Amino acid sequence: MFQRVLLDFVLKTFGLGAENETRTRDPNLGKVVLYQLSYFRKICITRLCNRSLPRLGVFILLGQGCALPTELFPQLRVQIYGKNPVLQIFREKKSKKGKNPPPSPIFVSMTKTIDTLCRLGERLQAIPEVVIRLAVAENPWFTPTSIRTAVEAIRREMLECEKLEAWLAPYAVPVAVPKKVLIILAGNLPLVGFFDLLCVVASGHHCMVKPSSKDRILLEHIIDELRAIDPALPLEIYNGTTPPEAVIATGSDNTNRYFKARYGELPTLLRGSRQSVALLTGEESEEELRGLEQDIWMHHGLGCRNVSLLFLKRGTEFPQIRPQATHEKYRNNYLQTKALFHMTNQPFIDLDGAVAICQSAFSQALSALSYTYYETDAEVEKWLTEHDRELQCVVARSINHPRRVDFGQAQSPRLTDYPDAVDVVAFLERI
């Protein structure tokens, strides 16, 4: 208790603290800086200079596994003694000319991991053609275009240094005691399980990957690239024998029941089937409608973030949307579904590549898009609340929903767009 109070006093004295909060804004950089004080393992004040000296300083010895500030700024310097980083906090006095000395480089515990992930993004700018060909042969639903689109979304939204730093700032990572975390991945979309891999690697746990047989090639390529960047990274394809200490698994509702039975004694994060919806007012621009087409038909509608139900404002016409280039397997499903609707006299709108049917339930047919009408936003919000456990995201201009995304963004989830709205990194912190 005394050590914590003393540390708080020192940080406030040098203008580096934020009282009881975990973030503060550095006046020199204007950036958010994290001081996760509650995760300091060992604190040892070794030197406190007199205020009258030209330089004020204090050394703080931090134990392994603690979190250090995540931004570079002039007041902080770090030196390494043995296995423990020593954080040296300085407030530099201005010179007679009024210029501050140049900032000193600092050691940050997450720097290496973030640097590794950023370098992965750079290496993924060009996926080898042989990898793409093998991935398409492995899963006939994949196309070179869908693979490149998925990889580019990952690079843009998940592997940029600034985004990674901002994302990880609120968490106490890397964890003090790494555990063996098994991630069981789906294979309906290219690299659909990459985010789970990213979370486990970023948290500092040992990541054991069990890829889907439908998306093994791309995942193995990612793992090979990460190993090439950092051979010491605790990341491997699961050998089937090492007992996991925690499990993250994605599958159907049926496979979830199996996962619960098999791993019920372990900390688990299990995901089942989800759907996505879109809310239209009838005032959408041409650009938004083209974005909606991507939200519906990108990756042939196979993902949980693909929109499969439209809410249309009563009195408006069905939007002018059409699938652009559909997969041969998707088109076969469309022809079969349309023939079935003709045979059963079920009304539908032919979208020349897909069909739209008026119902508030999610369609079971891949090529069938459901639509229904609403009077007020409150009516839709009530429906969304009642069906929240079935939903992944909501595409709309503005609606009161925590997983709302703009038109055209459903297939480009950000780092904070956690699947099923469950914070994966927070889960990994707790295990």
Is residue 21 scored above 60 in pLDDT?
no
Which of 30-34, 288-292, 355-359 is least confident?
A: 30-34
- DSSP helix/strand/coil, 31: coil
Identify the residue with better confidence: 428 or 35: 428
What is the tens place of the pLDDT at every residue in 157-198? 999 999 999 999 999 999 999 999 999 999 999 999 999 999
Q: How confident is the model at residue 389 (pLDDT cuts 50, 70, 90)?
A: very high
> CATH fold of 275-419, please?
Aldehyde Dehydrogenase; Chain A, domain 2 (3.40.309)
- H-run or E-run covering 263: helix 253-263
Task: Write down the domain spans for the chain.
Answer: 2-107, 112-273, 275-419
What is the tens place of the pLDDT at every residue in 284-299? 999 999 999 999 999 9
Identify the residue with better confidence: 52 or 304: 304
Q: What is the pLDDT of residue 109?
A: 53
Q: What is the pLDDT of residue 400?
A: 86
Q: Does domain 112-273 have CATH number 3.30.413.10?
A: no
Identify the residue with better confidence: 14 or 8: 8
Q: Alpha-carbon distance 400 to 378, whole Å?
A: 9
- Give the burial class of 15: count Cβ atoms within 10 A of its Cβ; 0-12 exposed, 13-18 middle, 19 or more buried: exposed
- Contacting residues for 312 by C-beta, under 8 A, at least 6 apart: 280, 282, 318, 319, 371, 372, 373, 374
What is the tens place of the pLDDT at every residue in 208-254? 999 999 999 999 999 999 999 999 999 999 999 999 999 999 998 89
DSSP state string for 292-337: HHHHHHGGGG-STTSEEEEEEETTPPPP-----S--HHHHHHHHHH
